[in-house]
Every structure is written in C-alpha cells, then in structure tokens.
Amino acid sequence: MKQVIGVGVIGMGWMGEVHSRSYRQIPDRFPDAGFQPRLVICADDVEKRVSSAQQRFGFEKYSTHWRDVIAHPEVSVVDITTPNHLHVEIARSAAKASKHFFCEKPVGRDPEETAAVAKVAGDAGVLSFVGYNYRWAPLVQYCFQLVQEGMLGRITHYRGRFFAGYARDPRGVLSWRFQRDLGGFGILGDTMSHVIDMAHFMAGPIKRLVSSRKTFISKRPLAVRGFGTHFTVSEGGPQGDVSNEDYAGALAEFECGAQGTLEACRVINGPQCQMAFEIHGTKGALSWDYERMNEISLFLSSGPASSHGYTRIVSGPEHPFHSHFNPGPGNSLSYDDLKTIEAYQFLKSVAEGRQASPGVQEAWQVANVQSAFVRSWETAAWTDITPVTPSLGSPR
C-alpha cells in the first residue's frame, strides 16, 4: 500500500502549472516509489486562472485564498510558486501548521528574507525543498559524480553563467520580476540564484568575490494583472520604472582555492536560456550548457598527449534518472522532466521523513553569497562571504 501525500499548490501561473504537472507525472515516471501524490487543492487570487488549473490538473478543489491551502486538513505539503513577496508569509504559515513545503527560488526578495525562511523551517522542524531544478539533469548529476570521484583532480577554475534574454525586448511587460518591492532583487535573485547554487554543488563554498551590476532597460509597459508571463510583450500604453538590475557579475574565489566567474543577464542578445558551467581541474575539465542539456564535453588528461581533447558525451540510461523517461541513449529529456525529478525527490524526502538537498538551508547559503554581491556593489571592493541575519521583511 503506497503512502498518499496530500499536495496543495499556491500560485497557478506558469510555474504553478509546471509543478502541478510534475506531481501528476510521478506515478508514471517513478512507478516503484512507495508514495503517491494526491492533488488536493490549488489556490490563486485570479479565479479564472485557478479554476482552469483545477480542471486541467485534477485538483479536488480550488480557492482564491492561499490560506485555505494551508488550513486544509488533507494537505501534508504546501508548494509555493507565487511571486517572491509572498514567499515568507506563506512559508511561515506552512511551518506554523507543521506542514512541509516546497518553495521556488530565490525564496526571499532579498538575502535576509531567504535566511528567515530557513530559520522558520528549522525552528518548526518541517522539511523543505527549493527549485534549483538544473541540478537534476542526468548529465549534471554525472558531472557531480566525476568531481566527487576525483576524476578532474583538484578544481582550479569554475565559470558559471545564466544568460537568458527573456527581457531583451523593451516592450516586455513590467511584471513583478522587474519591481523591487514585489520581486526583490532582479537577476541576482532570479537566475543568479541558480548559478550560485550550481557553483556550490559542483565546486563547494565561495570564499569572497567582487561584483558589478547594470540596468539596461529602465522603463517597461505596465502588465495586465492575471494575464501572461514575464515573456509577454505589449505595444504602447503606460509605462513604469524598472527598479532592480538586469545584469550581475562577479569574480570569485572558492574555499577550495579555485578561481572563478559568475554572471547572469536577462536582456542579453544571442543566448536564449544558457544556464551553463565549465570546470577545470588538475586532471581534466568538463562543460555543460542547458541549451544543449543532454550532452557534456569531457576532457581527461590521462593517456598519451596525442589523444588529448574534449569528448562529447550524450545522456543515456547509464546516467542518473535518464531511464525513468526513456530507455535509449541520445533521447532527450526536457525542462518539465527536470521538474518531475525535483518533485519526486521532494516527496521522497517527505515519505522517508528526512531533509533532502537542496532545501532552504542551501538557499540560505546562496543568500549569503547574494548578500556579498550587494555589499560589493556598494563598496566596489572584494567582499568576504559571511552569514546573513534572518529578517521576516516588511512592505517596501
């Protein structure tokens, strides 16, 4: 008899849809799991959107009030995919109700809010998970294995970046992501959080950095509430001010001694969704790019110099998680597949009663680095990574 885990999802925009779809995929993709998700209730303050989501994904009921999800007696886990300014209050309420929660990155609008969510979860003793989904690509997991096994030797260089020009068009609407009071920091919170988490995952903690930032597009057309995504464009009409950054970059020194760079930009031309990293060590090197998610380039310095060079490796059933989606090498996985693996890992941790990674503690470690970015912006100097003091935040 499988354990049934009641799921409530709060926020039914694009990410809420992806999460809901992922829970539905678990029984099919992981049939041997000892648990089964039950989609109990979804919530969104736009009724048309949430009622449609209920029908599409098979939730038993819906509500336009997020507190109804937490109060529902059949909900064991709360999934938070709302705009960032709601994360702290929802996570705190879930923890107070002794309910485990999944929160999309960057968790808080700023490092202090992220640290607060981590403290709240720890104090309440609830389990958590955070949406650093790029960790779950089969070949990223394989890269992690190679690093852990010492195949690259001692890491000397790490370069991480997330270049996604989703906001390159000045006609792109002023969604909450571009507003400091709703989204918090801009690209530092949005995609740099993935870059930092991946750097921690692959190369270990960052010791210090020096950072810069830039806002390239200062005004955007106002968005229509409840309609579209941050990819939506609008012709004409009133405009509002962009109040956070389009670009963030840093030179970084890792605790292991490696030197590196970290960059993220949302208005760059060329790359579409280039979440990527390169790692160089004393025995080899490798690189991965989400735009070519199902392949890596691997260089190993063993053997005769005449045979040295990068080898292209494609994802196959011998790599972690790949066989849950197809049996053949070279058959590609997708973004939604990564979210399915993520949802499975979260519910597996709940079923087993153990904290898995990445949870809000890992998000707190990311927040510590983000805080150093901000301090370096203010001083234009190298800045040590130090622990962030939790803050439950206030309207800004």
The DSSP H or E segment spanning 274 is: strand 274-281
CATH, residue 313: 3.30.360.10
Tell whether 178 and 275 lie within a shared domain. Answer: yes
Which domain covers residue 236, as residue numbers? 138-332
Helix (H, G, I), strand (E, B) or coil at 383: strand
Tell whether 283 and 151 lie within a shared domain. Answer: yes
Which of 133, 162, 194 finishes a domain?
133
Quote the pLDDT of residue 304: 83
Sole residue written with tokens 């009030």: 65
Looking at residue 168, its amino acid is: R
* Beta-sheet pairing, 274-281 with 155-163: antiparallel
Q: Please indicate, yes or no, if residue 40 is contained in any of the structural domains.
A: yes
Distance, CA of 335 to CA of 332 (rounded, Å):
10
CATH, residue 88: 3.40.50.720
DSSP letter assigned to residue 255: T
Q: Please indicate, yes or no, if residue 118 is contained in any of the structural domains.
A: yes
Which of 66, 101, 133 finishes a domain?
133
Tell whether 56 and 86 lie within a shared domain. Answer: yes
Q: Please indicate, yes or no, if residue 291 is contained in any of the structural domains.
A: yes
Tell whether 111 and 257 lie within a shared domain. Answer: no
Quote the pLDDT of residue 391: 82
Number of domains in the chain: 2
Tell whether 173 and 259 lie within a shared domain. Answer: yes
Looking at residue 165, its amino acid is: G
Distance, CA of 93 to CA of 95 (rounded, Å):
5
Helices 360-379 and 192-203 meet at what angle, rounded to 10? Answer: 110
The parts of the chain modelled with pLDDT lower than 70 are 226-230, 392-396
Q: Please indicate, yes or no, if residue 219 is contained in any of the structural domains.
A: yes
Tell whether 76 and 167 lie within a shared domain. Answer: no
Q: Please indicate, yes or no, if residue 370 is contained in any of the structural domains.
A: no
Which stretches of 166-324 are DSSP H helices?
180-183, 187-190, 192-203
CA distances from 39 to 11, 193, 196, 377 (A): 14, 29, 32, 44
Q: Please indicate, yes or no, if residue 285 is contained in any of the structural domains.
A: yes
| β partners of residue 4 | 36
Tell whether 24 and 88 lie within a shared domain. Answer: yes
Looking at residue 57, its amino acid is: F
Q: Please indicate, yes or no, if residue 257 is contained in any of the structural domains.
A: yes
Sole residue written with tokens 């392949």: 295
Tell whether 128 and 142 lie within a shared domain. Answer: no
Tell whether 59 and 192 lie within a shared domain. Answer: no
- Give the DSSP letter string of 51-73: HHHHHHHT-SEEES-THHHHH-T
Tell whether 178 and 113 lie within a shared domain. Answer: no
Is the peptide bond between 329 and the residue preceding it cis, with omega within 30 degrees of 0?
Answer: no
Which of 273, 307, 332 finishes a domain?
332
Helix (H, G, I), strand (E, B) or coil at 149: coil
163 contacts: CB under 8 Å, gap ≥ 6: 263, 264, 265, 268, 270, 271, 274, 276
pTM as predicted: 0.95
Q: Please indicate, yes or no, if residue 354 is contained in any of the structural domains.
A: no
Tell whether 11 and 66 lie within a shared domain. Answer: yes
Tell whether 77 and 15 lie within a shared domain. Answer: yes
